[in-house]
Structure 1
Amino acid sequence: MTESDSAGQQPQQEEAASAPASGAAPSRRAVLGWGGAGFALGAAAAGGAVTAFGGGPDMVSAAAAGASVSFHGEHQAGIASAVQDRLHFAAFDVKTKDREELIKLLKEWTVAARLMAAGLPVGEGGFGGLPEAPPDDTGEALGLKASRLTLTIGFGPGLFAKDRFGLEGKRPEALVDLELFPGDNLDPARSGGDLCVQACADDPQVAVHAIRQLARIGFGRTAMRWSQLGFGKTSSTTPDEQTPRNMMGFKDGTRNISGTDKAALDKHVWVGAGDGSDWLTGGSYLVARRIRMNIETWDRTPLQEQEDIFGRDKGEGAPVGKSRERDEPFLKAMKPEAHVRLAHPDTNNGATILRRGYSFTDGTDGLGRLDAGLFFLAYQRDIRKGFIPIQRNLARSDVLNEYIQHVGSAVFAVPPGVRDKDDWWGRTLFA
């Protein structure tokens, strides 16, 4: 849990995807040729006119209408895009040893992701095909709108290992293996992965369906290593919206990078042309951390102590000594070990990340304690200059560490966006 500076890029275009009442979405045969990742989708195929939405009230209208987010672009959707309410994140191990088979899989995943982002079923759909064969789509999202679904892929360090896919010379220097920070209690079963896919949507069933389809397509070539469901976004890329609260009841991500601040996104999030890995230009780096909160202990902590720990008041979210949430914090007025003070860019030589965190609850442990916390997603231009210095500072002296523990961790290189119908996830890496 960290507090970021404000900054951003042009938001991904939102497309109204509510189909007319008098007609179903077209079948795959009508819009998709089986020549690799070839695909053509216009406004008619999406089931309605295309409308652009910004932040604020228009974004709320887009969410209510079940709008779709454009799959194509210079950058992948799901990073600077307006944060949706639900998450299904999955990490996969690649089982095939064949480079061409991996490329084929990524092309097939791209086709499926493009369809699902538009609110369309995969393949021939969930019914109407050969009775003797399983349907192409599992069907649980049939009749549901796109719900601003975004699918974002990342490549883990293992993909670049020697004698696997001939990519060892293409591993970016900034894709580093994270050190074990003080207090970490990482579970290998909830860490790592060759590939990751982040599915975000306003409807949980849409997000879960998306990961389920990709896992199904990858059967035999990939295996899901771990996954995480999330709800109640704990950060926002649209500053004019109400700042969400985390499971500790505090507003989280007040100073997150804005999805419309191009200068800040270019500086802190997107990999630049001179950063050392040409194939990753326009992409980013992702750090995923599963952070469990000691909810029962926190709930017995006095209010004043809670506010001192964060460096903000619990009601308005204002920094210590200020009256409004977005007032510039006066760090020296906070306790030296306050979370906001230690996470602030001014305390970390300007280190800034874009956050897309989600709360989670996964039942209880053997002692009856709630297994709940924050699934932390941090995008940055360079992990060595973003997450690592911030986390070192927090791990060393943040008093919040008494109430949280990092139990899962993974890093990924996130390739640039899919530019057009002939492009596919990872093309720049494998070219």
Structure 2
Amino acid sequence: MSLSRRTLLAGGTVAGLSAAAGAAVGAAASGQTPDVAAAGRMPEAAVFGTETVPFHGPRQAGVTTEPPAQGTFVAFTLKPGTDRRALGRMMRMLSDDAARLTRGEPALGDTDATLAGLPSRLTITFGFGPGLYKAAGLEDKRPPSVQDLPSFRIDRLLPRWSGGDLVLQICADDPMTVTHTQRMLIKDARPFADVRWVQRGFRNTPGVQPAGFTQRNVLGQLDGTANPLGPEMDTAVWAPDNSTQLVVRRVRAEIETWDLLSTTDKEAAVGRRMDTGAPLSGKLERDEPDFAALDPAGLPLIPDFSHMTRARVTDPKLKILRRPYNYDDAPDATGRPDSGLIFASYQADIALQFLPIQRRLAEKDLLNQWITPIGSAVFAVPPGCAADGWIGDQLLG
């Protein structure tokens, strides 16, 4: 039996869905698999997987939310003729299914409903690229900072990892949840857009580190120590209308040459201890760095060319929120690794906050010898929505 996805969303009957899936859907809504539901008990692993993050609210989830272990970024290119009205239909469908999936409920027309039963802190965050505003005839509504980044001399950007009219950031603690969610949402978008690129990444599994820990990247350094904290988020990350802006940079790690360095050389490039993340002038990760401190030879303990020095921001309003995911794709035939960082940066204004940092890094960051940006994209992240609304309704409605 074939059902129209639009018919389902418009309120058409869902009774035609497979009756055999009914029990599974009921179990999924309660966070249980059919066997567990029948037995009337919940194993410990399933209890962990039932944790949810609300989809609806004034701000989109998945920005200042504690990052889950698994993340996928899916960018789309809009098909010709996808205008403002079509974009509204697409975002209604995407928002409806996103709300259901984050609750641990199947999407409308989901023929694999049991895969939706464990939301595992699932968040789905939407971003609008410059091309979406053009397609909608709303270029005057595009935030000025949401445009392609200028060219940096360190960039080796590849089209396969760059640009995009729409992005979905899908994060959860379980890779099956991410996979299923990605499949459902791509189905929604398929009539309106083509997949441009997909980047899948990972962080430490919950329980390996305490909540709030700083993520390590594949080079072994702590990544995100200088993030805004607490009330700083309200001005550094969020605009007054509860929107934010996203930069996604794919950064390849040159691991084989990095591995040739001594720990001392690595620390000089980073400006921090590799084991604790402490600045070279301190003992603990969050110690304030002392850039005037000298070593016994009279040289600065923290070199001017270190990554930490170049990325340093003291004004809380100008900080950026780093929310990175590592990637590790298949090595080539000779065994050379294909690993690096999906660098996701959230800030209220890309031009005011991100660009000055990136310019300083491109100018004189010693770490550039072991990292190479190969992808770049920017997006406006609109405010959240109410339970009877959809993401982008204030712009496209």
Q: Provide the residue aligned with 2:37 in structure 1.
A: none
2:312 corresponds to which of 332, 344, 347: 344
What's 2:379 paired with? 412
Asked if 1:183 corresponds to 2:154, the answer is yes
TM-score, with length taken from structure 2: 0.83
Q: Give the residue type in structure 2 aligned to 1:408.
A: G
Give how far 1:293 is off.
0.4
Q: How far is 1:254 from its partner?
A: 1.5
Compute the displacement of 1:378 (Å). Answer: 0.3
How many angstroms does 1:63 deviate by?
8.8
- What does 1:313-392 correspond to in 2, within 5 Å? 313-332=273-292, 333-346=301-314, 351-365=318-332, 368-392=335-359
Give the drift of 1:242. 3.0
- Say if 2:163 is the partner of 1:195: no
Instruction: From the superposition, tell whether residues 207 and 285 of structure 1 become closer, same or farther in structure 2 (CA, over 3 Å).
Output: same
Q: Which residue of 1 aligns with 2:18?
A: none
Matched, 1:310 2:249: no
CA contact (8 A) 1:176 1:384 kept: no
Match of 1:278 in 2: none
| Counterpart for residue 73 of structure 2 | 89
The 5-angstrom pairing of residues 31-430 of structure 1 reads: 34-35=10-11, 47=30, 64-97=48-81, 98-126=83-111, 138=112, 141-142=115-116, 144-161=117-134, 164-232=135-203, 241-258=212-229, 261=230, 263-272=231-240, 281-332=241-292, 333-346=301-314, 351-365=318-332, 368-420=335-387, 422-430=388-396
Give, as a single letter, the amino acid of the residue that structure 2 aligns with 1:337.
F
Structure 1 unaligned runs (5+)? 1-31, 37-43, 49-60, 127-137, 273-280
Distance 1:396 1:90, change over 3 A: same
Judge conservation of contact 1:85–1:202 (CA < 8 Å) in 2.
yes
- CA distance, structure 2, for counterparts of residue 189 and residue 65 of structure 1: 33
User: Is 2:28–2:114's contact at 8 Å kept on the other side of the alignment?
Assistant: no
C-alpha contact (below 8 Å) 1:337/1:399 kept by paired residues: yes
Partners of 2:311 and 2:360 within 8 A in 1: yes
SS at match of 1:266: helix
Task: Using the TM superposition, name which of 359-368 and 82-91 deviates more.
Answer: 359-368
- CA 1:140–1:359 in 2, change beyond 3 Å: closer, same or farther? farther
> Secondary structure, in 3 states, of the residue corresponding to 2:308?
helix
**Number of equivalenced pairs:** 351
Is the contact between residue 290 and residue 374 of structure 1 (CA under 8 Å) also seen in structure 2?
yes
Deviations 1:10-55 (A, max 9, x none): xxxxxxxxxxxxxxxxxxxxxx97459xxxxxxx99538xxxxxxx
| CA displacement at 1:140 relative to structure 2 | 7.2
Structure showing the higher helix proportion among its residues: 2
Letter in 1 for 2:256: E
Q: Matched residues in 1 for 2:283 and 2:137: separation?
A: 56
How far apart, in 1, do the equivalents of 2:226 and 2:316 lie? 16
Deviations 1:366-391 (A, max 9, x none): 65421100000000010011110000
- Superimposed CA distance per residue, residues 241-261 of structure 1 (whole angstroms, 9 cap, x where no aligned partner): 332211011222122223xx1
Distance 2:110 2:316 in 1: 51
Q: CA deviation at 1:90?
A: 0.4
Q: Structure 1, residues 125-165: CA drift from partner, whole Å, max 9, x if none?
A: 32xxxxxxxxxxx45724x411000000000011122xx32
Task: Give the root-mean-square deviation of aligned CA atoms.
Answer: 2.5
**Does the 8 Å CA contact 1:298/1:403 hold for their aligned counterparts?**
yes
Q: Identity over the aligned pairs, expressed in percent?
A: 41
Measure the CA separation in 2 of the matches of 1:139 and 1:239: 32
CA distance in 1, matches of 2:46, 2:321: 23
Q: Provide closer, same or farther for how the CA distance between residues 331 and 200 of structure 1 changes in structure 2, counting only shifts above 3 A.
A: farther
Residue 427 and residue 72 in structure 1: after superposition, are their counterparts in 2 closer, same or farther (change >3 A)?
A: same
Worse overlay, 99-108 or 382-391: 99-108
| Matched residue SS, 2:196 | strand
Deviations 1:185-213 (A, max 9, x none): 00012100100000010001111211211
Q: Evaluate the alpha carbon distance shift between residue 282 and residue 242 of structure 1 in structure 2; reply closer, same or farther with a 3 A threshold.
A: closer
Structure 1 residues 352 and 112: CA distance shift in structure 2, 3 A: same
- Normalization by structure 1: what TM-score? 0.76
Q: Does the 8 Å contact 1:140/1:205 carry over to 2? A: no
Give unpaired runs (5+ residues) of structure 2: 1-7, 13-26, 32-44, 293-300
Measure, in 2, the Cα distance between the counterparts of 1:221 and 1:118: 25
Query: In structure 1, the residue corresponding to 2:338 is in which secondary structure?
Result: strand
Separation in 1 of the partners of 2:338 and 2:141? 38
2:28 touches 2:118 (CA, 8 Å); kept in 1?
Answer: no
- Cα shift at 1:177: 2.2
SS at match of 1:67: coil
2:39 matched residue in structure 1 = none
SS in 1 for 2:358: helix
Q: Residue 226 of structure 1: CA displacement?
A: 0.2
- Partner of 1:89: helix, strand, or coil? strand
Question: For the Cα contact (< 8 Å) 1:96–1:220, is it kept in 2?
Answer: no
> What secondary structure is seen at the aligned counterpart in 2 of 1:107?
helix
